[in-house]
Structure 1
Amino acid sequence: MASVLGSPAGARRGLFLPPFDAFADPRVVAELARTAEEAGWDGVFVWDHVRYSPPVAAIADPWICCAAIAAATSRIRFGPMVTPLPRRRPHVVARQAASLDLLSGGRLVLGFGIGDDWLGEMSRFGDEGDAKVRGEMLDEGLDVLTGLLSGHLVEHLGPHYRAEDVRFLPAPERPIPIWIAGRYGNRAPLRRAARYDGAFVIGYPGPEAVGDVRGQLRALRADRDAHDLVVDIGPDVDPAPWAAAGATWVLTRFGPYGLDADAVRRAVEAGP
């Protein structure tokens, strides 16, 4: 799944879709994913939020959307992009991920980050509001999650999570790729991403900044060559400069506001 870090040729193309309002229905998301597959896209990735700022009103669960995508397609990659793991239980996510990967024949990609509390999306529900603590929870939660997905016996007793003498089966036939999200200029997510399969950096000032991130990741991953570097762009932005700068996946982002289902569908039908 992972591409060679720094290779500008042949970046994969995906959709980056919030399951909001016009797409707050897993059936609609599944149909759009089927259309995307037929039109030649390589992936469909859905946002993970429990609330958002107005005028967004309706929101669908991303994991249910992912299950619908898995059942409706046969080739494309898909996954939650990104899930704030500190808001969830790692062992529950491991069970969900293993089942989704099995359902899809090994096409799941997992995107994780610490999440953002700018709308009180964490604190309004009693979840951890401190970003530093969420970072600690993410690191520990990823250890638990990957251990459980390995199919091996897990013994973990940490400050935030525990998994005592447990083994989860069925395990994925191949490791599920994990992309770690962060904002451009933030070093901590890159250090975390270097330990996994990809980095999904948002907020680039332009394609030229991709080379900077690529260089930092290469320095952090001296012992590993394969790594995905994922970027998102608006529907009217040319993906070529981003691919040329070293992105291995270029996702076309729709929304979050004023989502027009017909307009999105036409853009998807036009192909990547």
Structure 2
Amino acid sequence: MADYGHDLVFGTFLTPSAEAPDRVVELAQLTEQVGLDLASIQDHPYQARFLDTWTLLSVIAARTTRLRVTPNVVNLPLRPPAVLAKSVASLDLLTGGRVELGLGSGAFWDGIAALGGRRLTPAQAVDALAEAIGVIRALWAPSGSVRIAGEYYGVQGAHAGPAPAHHVGIWLGAYKKRMLALTGRLADGWLPSSPYAGPDQLPGMNAAIDAAAEEAGRDPRDIRRLYNIGGRFAPRGTGFLTGPAGMWAEQLAELTLDQGMSGYVVMGDDPDVVRRFAAEVVPAVNELVDAERARRAATPPQPDRPSVEAGWAPTGSDAAGREAARSQGPGSAADRAAPRTGSVPAGLGITPTPDDGVRRSDVRLWDETTRPAGPVPDRNRTYTASERASGQHLIDVHDQLRAELETVRDLVEQVADSLTDPGAARSAINAMTLRQNNWTLGTYCESYCRVVTTHHTLEDQALFPRLRRADAGLVPVVDRLAEEHLVIHDVLERVDRALVGLVTDEKGIDEVRAAVDLLSDTLLSHLSYEERELVEPLARFGLA
């Protein structure tokens, strides 16, 4: 999968509760006020506690000025497509082009039948949806006579029009094989929900859409990929979209850059979540995606820096050689600087993770004794709870990377010793932050490499420039950290190449081990140095 290059869209997915009709309108207005793009409403006409979705969308559109609106998604069996086409075009004209159409084949057939709708089998529902898309698009023509001999939604000489104010996107809520194929053939967009299609399932579903698009002579890039997401903000990361806002941003940016997702619609009716999503997550996702897209477009020559290839010297191919290399311990003073003490005031109440000095590889890609130190902080300064949280955030993110690095190492050893049980490995990986559809070592390591790179990109493009502006004394530290990011990027590339080699050569496990050893040495050393130098400035300037 790849980035399809679409502009990013962010919105809310609101419950049309009839118990508090004003509240849902106010949440939609808040969606606009905080700068999000889209408000969407679920459509369940048989639910007695819900307002009618199309009426509610019309009121929301009338009480906002730029907000786009869409049903998420229309229950087609209870909304005949010919009338639906007229409703969509009318509201789009009245709002100046602010309507999109999320469309579904139907669900909860007992409720549909209770309201007089036709009960369909899953296969019939997909066929009916395909007919409906043809009817809707035909009736959106500015004029003409429409005749469609359909089994479910035939149209006999209906007058087309009015045409919408803009090209209204038809976004399908699709999960199963035939619905995904229909999305690839006919739709403008795909709109799944994370509770029903977790991030581990997206690659396979996207591939099915792309294959159907290509078979139909379409470019897969013409299909926008949106995602209804549910999550929880928390001090520490424990899973997909459960953790700090920065972790949300990294995970969503990864979905855009690697899976082609380009619209994120946050589910729920908590105004604080809406505000935080807009203020903390959306800007960071945009920064990450813009920076990586610019990097990929420019593909600049690599700057002059320590070379992984030039210094590459795996530490022995047998267990004895590896054990000897690991037993060498911290090494000489030239290899590593003694931990600098007292760099974080006791009053800060935050403890950076120290470098334990353990090195698994013989390769040294930088001289730790040359690392610059930032200005000595004021020992008498006091810090607020908010400032402490700002400094702690960096450690929280790093702890997640440390924990998952241990998982990578453990998987390497399980594969090497032929001890890996596929079911157990998959269960363990699915519980982690960056789940993947495949339990294999290679897939998980690739995902881990991407999240490390994304985290460093966020720092390089957003955090480091702010620190340089905030305190000139931090410039040498920030510059050194940025240089180390480039070195670590090369190490990650080495891990990836070793994993590719492992596919065709079982003896390549030693290359993988050596690559992961070097990744452990460089990454853990770097994270400790970064925390030692930055947790206090982050608390002081509130930049985390």
What TM-score range do you get, normalising by the shorter chain? 0.7 to 0.9
The CA distance in 2 between the partners of 1:9 and 1:168, in whole Å, is: 31
Q: Which residue of 2 aligns with 1:42?
A: 37
Counting strand residues as a fraction of each chain, which structure ranks higher? 1
1:28 is aligned, of 23, 32, 56, to 23
The CA distance in 1 between the partners of 2:65 and 2:200, in whole Å, is: 35
2:59 is aligned, of 58, 65, 68, to 68
Q: What displacement does 1:128 show? A: 2.0
Q: Which has the larger radius of gyration?
A: 2
1:187 is aligned, of 153, 156, 177, to 177
Q: Deviations over 1:229-267 (max 9, x none)?
A: 12122141225424422311111111xxxxxx6xx1222
Q: Secondary structure at the match of 2:102?
A: strand
Counterpart contact for 2:85–2:140, Cα < 8 Å: yes
In structure 1, runs of 5+ residues without a counterpart are 255-260
Say if 2:272 is the partner of 1:266.
yes
The CA distance in 2 between the partners of 1:187 and 1:62, in whole Å, is: 28
Q: Secondary structure at the match of 2:151?
A: coil
Say if 2:223 is the partner of 1:227.
yes
The CA distance in 2 between the partners of 1:158 and 1:124, in whole Å, is: 24
Mapping of residues 10-159 of structure 1, within 5 Å: 11-23=8-20, 25=21, 27-52=22-47, 58-117=49-108, 120-130=110-120, 131-153=122-144, 154-159=146-151
Q: Deviations over 1:91-125 (max 9, x none)?
A: 1101110111112211111011111126x111222
Q: Deviations over 1:197-229 (max 9, x none)?
A: 111123455324323322222222233222211
Q: Which residue of 2 aligns with 1:257?
A: none
The CA distance in 2 between the partners of 1:10 and 1:148, in whole Å, is: 28
2:154 is aligned, of 155, 162, 167, to 162
Counterpart contact for 1:207–1:242, Cα < 8 Å: no
Counting helix residues as a fraction of each chain, which structure ranks higher? 2
Q: Secondary structure at the match of 2:127?
A: helix
The CA distance in 2 between the partners of 1:190 and 1:110, in whole Å, is: 17
Q: What displacement does 1:133 show? A: 2.3
Counterpart contact for 2:128–2:152, Cα < 8 Å: yes
Equivalent AA in structure 1 for residue 113 of structure 2: S
Q: Cα RMSD over matched residues?
A: 2.3
The CA distance in 1 between the partners of 2:152 and 2:119, in whole Å, is: 14
In structure 2, runs of 5+ residues without a counterpart are 233-240, 242-247, 279-544
The CA distance in 1 between the partners of 2:203 and 2:5, in whole Å, is: 10
Equivalent AA in structure 2 for residue 161 of structure 1: Y
Q: Which has the higher contact order (CA 8 A, sep 6+)?
A: 1
Query: Structure 1 length normalisation: TM-score?
Result: 0.83
Query: Structure 2 length normalisation: TM-score?
Result: 0.43
The CA distance in 2 between the partners of 1:139 and 1:107, in whole Å, is: 24
Counterpart contact for 2:182–2:212, Cα < 8 Å: no
Number of equivalences: 251
Counterpart contact for 1:123–1:129, Cα < 8 Å: yes
Counterpart contact for 2:96–2:165, Cα < 8 Å: no
The CA distance in 2 between the partners of 1:140 and 1:169, in whole Å, is: 18
The CA distance in 1 between the partners of 2:97 and 2:126, in whole Å, is: 28
Counting aligned pairs with the same residue, the percent is 27
